[in-house]
Amino acid sequence: MDYVRLGRTGLKVSQLCLGCMTYGAPDRGNHPWTLDEEKSRPLIQRAIEEGINFFDTANSYSDGTSEEIVGKAVRDFARRDEVVIATKVYYPSSKAPNIGGLSRKAIMSEIDKSLRRLGTDYVDLYMIHRWDYTTPIEETLETLNDLIKAGKVRYIGASSMYAWQFAKMIYTADLHGWARPVSMQNHLNLLNREEEREMIPLCIAEDIGITPWSPLARGRLTRSWGEKSYRTETDEPGKKFYEELFEQADRQVVEAVAAIAERRAIPRSQVALAWVIRHAGVTSTLVGASKESHLTDAVAALQVELTDAEVAELEAPYVPHNISGFE
């Protein structure tokens, strides 16, 4: 496992980041396909053994139980100062006023809840999960800067949004002398490449670390077209990400992945992951793992070097898609 700097920081993260939305109480929140603590712990331990030092979760995943599971496992299987824990804030846990969003009140409350669940006194990377249209970005950024000064957060980042919003976030932080975001966790895979237009060039220009989510398109790139899984059937948020409108082109991409995997005699997941890993600007790719084989394949994908001809074959069927994942 290689370790790379996250953006312009001195923080070193593994090329793979374990996406921990997979871990959490199945009866909490809107992720019934998640694994409970007993099933999650061996996978988190295996990730650490494979050299992964970067773990991503969020306060909203399975009503916070993901943070609880991850925090306990990291304490049991690793040294706190040797791992990088990232969590996120934005989504509300109830419909009450001031719960959720990125107001000063909400962020100050949520960071303390996350720290308690994680069982740590600081978060390495604290990200805004989505853009808050109701709170001035100045209020959000000053609050995040205060969390860094208080020692509760080491670095800040963001997840999916429009490039103009992220640009506003960067220049507002610079204008006021506040901590600027160091990472962007965006939606990038062979079935959704819209981030190539503006967000990725912006991140490269500003030396922002890119940590893509859903590199396998919710598993669609790992199986034959039309094949379903329990997660596919129960993943309500994920159903909105890939529209039938683009079915013909998407199917051709999936078939290209399958063809290259067959020629190389490797799993399809390794081909799809290798494409994301080699993508310009990408620092660390999020991978979900509900089986040990998922981790084995992800680590193996780091050694897969696609040829220019293979990349062209994978990319040729793509057509422009609608924005998906944060609209």
Q: How far is CA 254 from the centre of its chain?
A: 22
- Whole-prediction pTM: 0.95
| Contact (CB, 8 A) for 115 and 123 | yes
Q: Looking at residue 187, what is its pLDDT?
A: 97
The string of pLDDT tens digits covering residues 181-200 is 999 999 999 999 999 999 99
Classify residue 324: in a domain, yes or no.
no
Q: Judge whether residue 228 has pLDDT over 90.
A: no
Determine the average pLDDT of the residues in 105-109.
97
Classify residue 321: in a domain, yes or no.
no
Residues contacting residue 232 through CB under 8 Å, at least 6 positions apart: 218, 219, 238
The string of pLDDT tens digits covering residues 316-326 is 999 999 988 88
Classify residue 38: in a domain, yes or no.
yes
Q: Per the structure block, which two tokens stand in for 178?
A: 């506040």
Classify residue 194: in a domain, yes or no.
yes
Classify residue 181: in a domain, yes or no.
yes
Q: What is the dihedral of CA 140, 145, 150, 152, to 10 degrees?
A: 70
Query: What's the rounded Cα separation, in Å, for the pair 278 and 267?
Result: 17
Among 9-23, 113-127, 139-153, 243-257, where is mean pLDDT lowest? 243-257
Residue at 101: amino acid letter: G
**CATH code, domain with 159:** 3.20.20.100
The string of DSSP codes covering 64-129 is GHHHHHHHHHHHHHS-GGGSEEEEEE-S-SSSSTTSSSS-HHHHHHHHHHHHHHHT-S-EEEEEES
| Contact (CB, 8 A) for 189 and 277 | no
Residues contacting residue 295 through CB under 8 Å, at least 6 positions apart: 43, 46, 47, 50, 287, 289
Q: Looking at residue 242, what is its pLDDT?
A: 82
Q: How confident is the model at residue 263 (pLDDT cuts 50, 70, 90)?
A: very high
The tally of domains found in the chain comes to 1
The sign of the dihedral angle between the CA atoms of 221, 270, 304, 10 is: positive
Classify residue 126: in a domain, yes or no.
yes
Q: How far apart are the first and last CA of the chain?
A: 35
Query: Active-site residue numbers?
Result: 61
Identify which of 286, 296, 224, 258 has the alpha carbon closest to the alpha carbon of residue 47: 296
Residues contacting residue 177 through CB under 8 Å, at least 6 positions apart: none
Classify residue 323: in a domain, yes or no.
no
Domain that holds residue 126: 3-315
Classify residue 113: in a domain, yes or no.
yes
